Amino acid sequence: MKKIIKFLTALCGFLVFSLQASYRTFTESNITYGIFQAKPEDVRLHWRDSEGKNYRSLTNLKRELEKNYQVKMIMNAGIYSKNDVPAGLWIENGKELNPLNIKRGRGNFHIQPNGVLALVGKQAYILTTKAYQQKKLNPIFALQSGPMLLIEGKINHQFSPTLESYHKRNAVCLNKQNELLFILTTSGKPNLYTFSQGLQKIGCHNALYLDGTISNWYIPSMFNSFHWHHFVGMISVAE
């Protein structure tokens, strides 16, 4: 019995260490960025359950995933429209559930260029919408959001340092080593320019904005799954 307890204790310690090894923070100008590094093959997208209903909350999705997976992280996955549908492309398990959106419009999603996160096996891509169209990938999972924050290390030229729009924000990026990072501001409220600057200093090379204000995540032993606002699409990292 003592051996079993020691084994379980060691296992729990290893799991906590693994999660901590995937998570770090960066602070700049009174803004703290939580950074979660993930393997592309562990990342999935979730919009509706098997009955066609939106998961709506981190907690609901967490409960469903824990039936079969060890959950490492869950976060909201980009901007959605008023009828609780992703604002742009959404692909789950190789099936396109919502088409690419190339229309003009208002709001952050339509600031050009916007872009796509595409997952193809062990490879992740973050591309402008135009580049995604040209690449002709066949992703297992993909989402469209916007705007692009960084393109080959450079801040989107649409952003102004003096933009008076300060919010909690989250994003996804790839660094030069093609490592996949999910980022959430855990304290402080940057504008899009300041947020992009922070991502540069973290080491992001290509970065896509996901959402603001309502953004949140669940990481075991670090951040709980409770939040006030309902979500539409969500991202999970799980084994």
HEC states along 42-108?
HEEEECECCCCCECCCHHHHHHHHCCCCCEEEEEECCCECCCCCECCCEEECCEEEECCCCCCCCCH
Place of tokens 């297992």: 140
Number of structural domains in the chain? 1
Is residue 130 situated within a structural domain? yes
Is residue 162 situated within a structural domain? yes
Instruction: Identify the bridge partners of residue 152 per DSSP, sorted by sequence position.
Output: none
Residue-level pLDDT at 8: 38
Is residue 97 situated within a structural domain? yes
Distance CA(21)–CA(55), nearest Å, equals: 28
Is residue 139 situated within a structural domain? yes
**Statement: residue 9 has pLDDT above 50:** no
Q: Which residue has the higher pLDDT, 164 or 56?
A: 56
Is residue 107 situated within a structural domain? yes
pLDDT in tens, 106-125: 889 999 999 999 999 999 99
Residue-level pLDDT at 20: 55
pLDDT, averaged across the chain: 92
Distance CA(68)–CA(62), nearest Å, equals: 11
For residue 20, give the amino acid letter.
Q
Residue count of the chain: 239
Instruction: Quote the DSSP letter at residue 69.
Output: -
For residue 7, give the amino acid letter.
F
Is residue 141 situated within a structural domain? yes
**Statement: residue 11 has pLDDT above 50:** no
Is residue 9 situated within a structural domain? no
Is residue 2 situated within a structural domain? no
Give residue 90's domain range: 28-238
Residue 19 pLDDT level (bands cut at 50, 70, 90): low
